[in-house]
Structure 1
Amino acid sequence: MPPPTASDLIFSEQANHNFSRTLGDLKRSTLTIQNRLQSILHDAAFAQQVAGAYSRPLIANERCGSWYIDPETKGGSAYFKSTDGHTGVWKFSSRRLNLHLLEIIGKHDGCIIIDSTRRGKRMPDALCKTIPIWCSVLNRFLFPEQPKFHELYTPPQIVSQSEHAQIAALLPSFVAALEALNIYVADLKHNVPKPLRPIWVTPESNVTPTSSIFEDFHPVICCTVSRRVAGGENSEGGYIQGAGDDTENWAHGLSPPVFWANREVLLSTPETELPNFIENLVARTAAAGTAKGQMRCLKPASHLFIGSISDLPVNSMLPAAFTIILLPKITGEDTWRTSPTRLDVGLGPHKLGSRNLRTALPFIIDFFRRSLTLRKTERGQEDETTVLIACETGKDLSIGVALAFLCLFFDDHGKLVQEPSREVHVDKTFIRSRLGWISTSMPDGNPSRATLQSVNSFLMERPR
């Protein structure tokens, strides 16, 4: 038998291709919808174990965190982004202040923030860096006279000393940015009499029941629910780390509330039938409709409300309310004015609507200004005008228009003024301070970058 040649020892290009395809098939056979849902329930059980051990409310760090908490036991939502904790680009976000958590933390002496991360990482950056930055910045902001509470705490097994030092050096600038928003410190400090301190829990932690009350601080328990997987998923018996992530690639429109309400039937449905079953389930749920929400007031303004179009009250056509509806379809400007107190502005969907907002804002602002002037002339006195602003989601275009209104028609105390002041210097800092009002009143608001850019362009370029 002749000795083997190099061609015998090296796989051909076709063999390599087949090998890669086989590995891909194995991975796909593991990353099934069934395995994801089973993994989510597995990790959700750990979240409940942590809640039982520490007796504090479960807060979902959106979007991923909600998959791991039964809506019946969910204590709220947070919006800490891992991108705000990525190495070299750390920041304290003025768009995601999460100040609504302070009331929950003060009431329950802390909270448990639930999140997860995909294979290869022990903990998401949101939990190991973004939240520690948030805690330290708020401690410096709320307790400036107590420097012993200003220290930055990060998990040393994940965040290196060098990275920790680089983040700590940025904290004064983050505090200055928060102070520039002109948020009322007294109201926030009333909610949390003690500083905040992050504490980390993972499936590797020794979780034992405790009734400990920390005298010096409120614990913000950062809980990573997914077990760390070092190798490939096919070595884990079907378990998928961070199974609730990347839903656009596997969920077929399934959302956490629909999953938890139908988990038993979903888990009993064969894998081959799941995609069609989920799509039909989501369609039936949408057709049945969800509970009608409420327009939300943007404090400290007492008469400015935003929400989705479906949230609008039946009496929104009454003269007492000035209503702006931002439609996800394009309509002509000559059709926008539907009554003396209502605009139906057809901007188009998504990014197109965000871009068109820039050219529509002059029309909206001028119409509102004229309406205020006419109302004052007719009634002979100034009165509080209720303003309702609605878009398809209630969390994007409506926030953009509300931000423009807060900058032009409301003073520093949230009181409506009749005429936009040309003396007010509207710059990026001023706009961010008004955006801070919105993020505090509705932390789940998520205006797109394109929407905010349109508002900034309009406000910064308007004549003075």
Structure 2
Amino acid sequence: MEEEEEGEWRKLSIYKAARSIKRRENSLYNALRSIYQDSVFVGEISQLWPQLPLLANLRCGLWYSSLFHSTCYFKSTDGHTNNCSFSTSRLNLHVAHLAGQKGGCMIVDSTRKGKRFPDSMSKTIPIWTCVLNRAISHFRRDSNIHDAAPSPQDDNTDGCDEIAKDVSCDWDCSLHLPLWVPQTEKACIEEKLEEWTQQLKASGADIASLAAILKKPLRPLWISQKTVIWLNEVPHHDSWDFTPIILVSASSSNGASQHSTTSEFSWNYIPGAGDDEESWARGLTPPLFWNHVYDLINSGPEVCNQKVADIVEKSRVCRAYRGENAPQVRVKSLSNEEPSFASDNSNIEVDTKSSESFEISWLGSTNLAVGASQFATDVAGVDCILNCDQESISVSLASAEAYLHLPMVSSKFDRFSLSNKLPKAVSFAKLNLSQGKRLLVCCNNGEDISVCVCLAILMSLFDEKDTFDDGKSFNARHITKWDMRRRLVFICKFATNARPSRGNLRQVFNFLIGGKCILQSQDDGSDE
């Protein structure tokens, strides 16, 4: 019996020791040094086609350069083996528009799994380019048939068939996947392409503007650290008969951590170190990293943590002085002790992905805007503010009634946070929008919660033409998920950083299908 207990104790000790070693290998300094090393490769590739804009695939890709033109959001889960999909919630149409304007673009991402490319690059983006190409081809075919339709007196319709054939024959609609994707999986994906194309067309996406700006079909190309490129044979992007979407996988694919030694420090290389930043970044964000990159890299592993803590705290204090949301950051300890803090006086946890905030986006011709709370005080032309952030903000508005603070959290932490607050949010919007006021809905990052609240407001108070009608059309129609998807596509057309989570969207849908009686009871002056 004692021998069995001793054996279990040894196994547990080995397990703890292995986890401790792994944590130390994945230290903050190792991660930052690995990111910097991979960023050199990204910089070299970007210089091969300097005319093409460089985009970061959120969130991992954002760490690998300080010179990104903008961001995009292609999820690897949409490209998982035998579970591929096309998401109408993440259309990334701004990427296609940008590629059409500039003749192509480059997207940076990374992966920790020892593969050369993440699934977002192997399958999600190739599926996306193919579906968009097919939708554009259908639009051009239908437009030409309509424009060239014979007169009622002409019974000969052969001309229309020839036009349709000519339009589609020179526009590549085939699926281009990398060689490492098996043919059987490619065949399964091809079977679903027409269904996904119809979903895109039904979503209300502006295919006409894509067809106008894209002169050549989209096509992905793949570049990793193992790719052989002859510098004297690099083609100009205009020489291709397609619009290139160049997919740059930043990290090495050797799998296990590689030990590296410089003249001053030794460190372990981590493939895809930018991934899962909550577990290692200790409140550091990509902009802060690139503002202090050489100081951090040259500091060495012994003092790196303290330098990061000082940088994060200094940034927090500066934001606090400007009246912005600036909670202190709790970080994980490498030992079994209590968690340590980047600053001494608070234990508030903060999601570091919220640090990458975006400007305010007005939603078309509506009086509705969405954005991050830190920009709310600087926006001109706002008459009222609905703040969904955890922290209140200082605002200068005409009256106290023009500001409503409804703190909400993601469904990851509370499955009913949005659904419980949406009735008050929609009522506040209805009161102000009916008076012609301009309303800003903001949250911590302007990407998720505020987008979902705007979606609920648009669905509840606006008609199909995005005109405020005080909820008349909402009460007269049956709400479906496709209605919600079409309206979300409308929001994403203006708020290109929108990334609503599935759990939060589910709460919005549940509110909408049960929201008529709630809104009617509020109109009658009764309680919720």
Q: TM-score of the superposition, structure 1-length normalised? A: 0.84
Q: How far 1:415 sits from its partner (Å)?
A: 2.6
**Mapped pair 1:409 → 2:461:** yes
Give the Cα–Cα distance (whole angstroms) in 2 for the partners of residues 359 and 63 of structure 1: 29
Letter in 1 for 2:172: F
Partner residue in 2 for 1:37: 32
Q: 1:403 to 1:22 in 2, by over 3 A?
A: closer
Q: 5 Å matches for 1:77-226? A: 77-144=71-138, 145=141, 146=168, 149-157=172-180, 159-209=181-231, 210-212=234-236, 213-226=238-251
Partner residue in 2 for 1:457: 510
Q: How far 1:367 sits from its partner (Å)?
A: 4.4
SS at match of 2:47: helix
**Mapped pair 1:365 → 2:429:** no
Give the Cα–Cα distance (whole angstroms) in 2 for the partners of residues 31 and 419 of structure 1: 53
- 8 Å contact from structure 1 (residues 58, 113) kept in 2: yes
Q: How far 1:371 sits from its partner (Å)?
A: 4.9
Partner residue in 1 for 2:318: 288
Partner residue in 1 for 2:57: 61
Q: How far 1:253 sits from its partner (Å)?
A: 1.3
Partner residue in 1 for 2:264: none
SS at match of 2:446: coil
Q: 1:175 to 1:267 in 2, by over 3 A?
A: same
SS at match of 2:131: helix
Which of 267, 282, 301 pairs up with 1:271? 301
Q: How far 1:321 sits from its partner (Å)?
A: 2.6
Between 1:106-115 and 1:360-369, the stretch displaced more is: 360-369
**Mapped pair 1:445 → 2:441:** no
Give the Cα–Cα distance (whole angstroms) in 2 for the partners of residues 288 and 329 of structure 1: 16
- 8 Å contact from structure 1 (residues 294, 312) kept in 2: no
Q: How far 1:344 sits from its partner (Å)?
A: 1.3
**Mapped pair 1:312 → 2:376:** yes
Structure 1 residues 99-157: Cα deviation after superposition (integer angstroms, max 9, x where no partner): 11122211221111111111421210000100001000100111224265211111012
Structure 2 unaligned spans of 5+: 1-6, 142-167, 262-266, 325-357, 393-397, 518-528
**Mapped pair 1:395 → 2:447:** yes
Q: 1:151 to 1:25 in 2, by over 3 A?
A: same
Query: In the comparison of the two structures, how many residue pairs are matched?
Result: 433
SS at match of 1:251: coil
- 8 Å contact from structure 1 (residues 340, 371) kept in 2: no
Letter in 2 for 1:271: P
Q: How far 1:403 sits from its partner (Å)?
A: 0.3
Give the Cα–Cα distance (whole angstroms) in 1 for the partners of residues 373 and 257 of structure 2: 45
Q: How far 1:26 sits from its partner (Å)?
A: 5.0
- 8 Å contact from structure 1 (residues 143, 195) kept in 2: no
Q: How far 1:262 sits from its partner (Å)?
A: 0.4
SS at match of 2:416: helix
- 8 Å contact from structure 2 (residues 29, 305) kept in 1: no
Q: 1:411 to 1:272 in 2, by over 3 A?
A: same
- 8 Å contact from structure 1 (residues 324, 343) kept in 2: yes
Structure 1 residues 5-49: Cα deviation after superposition (integer angstroms, max 9, x where no partner): xxxxxxx87777776666556544543332222221121111111
Give the Cα–Cα distance (whole angstroms) in 2 for the partners of residues 398 and 49 of structure 1: 38
Give the Cα–Cα distance (whole angstroms) in 2 for the partners of residues 452 and 140 of structure 1: 28
Which of 224, 240, 244 pairs up with 2:274? 244
**Mapped pair 1:425 → 2:478:** yes
Partner residue in 1 for 2:337: none
Letter in 2 for 1:54: W
Partner residue in 2 for 1:257: 287
Give the Cα–Cα distance (whole angstroms) in 1 for the partners of residues 224 and 509 of structure 2: 41
Give the Cα–Cα distance (whole angstroms) in 2 for the partners of residues 224 and 84 of structure 1: 17
Give the Cα–Cα distance (whole angstroms) in 2 for the partners of residues 227 and 350 of structure 1: 34
SS at match of 1:74: coil
SS at match of 1:94: coil
SS at match of 2:420: helix
Give the Cα–Cα distance (whole angstroms) in 1 for the partners of residues 209 and 62 of structure 2: 28
SS at match of 1:54: coil
Q: How far 1:347 sits from its partner (Å)?
A: 3.5
Give the Cα–Cα distance (whole angstroms) in 2 for the partners of residues 178 and 432 of structure 1: 10
Structure 1 residues 425-463: Cα deviation after superposition (integer angstroms, max 9, x where no partner): 321100010011122222322223332122101111233
Structure 1 residues 227-258: Cα deviation after superposition (integer angstroms, max 9, x where no partner): 11145545997322112122222211111111
Give the Cα–Cα distance (whole angstroms) in 2 for the partners of residues 371 and 265 of structure 1: 49
Q: How far 1:226 sits from its partner (Å)?
A: 1.0
Letter in 1 for 2:483: F
- 8 Å contact from structure 1 (residues 60, 78) kept in 2: yes
Between 1:240-249 and 1:93-102, the stretch displaced more is: 240-249
Give the Cα–Cα distance (whole angstroms) in 2 for the partners of residues 59 and 328 of structure 1: 30
SS at match of 2:48: helix
Which of 366, 388, 392 pairs up with 1:326? 388
SS at match of 1:100: helix
Structure 1 unaligned spans of 5+: 1-11, 331-337, 376-383
- 8 Å contact from structure 2 (residues 220, 244) kept in 1: yes
Between 1:248-257 and 1:358-367, the stretch displaced more is: 358-367
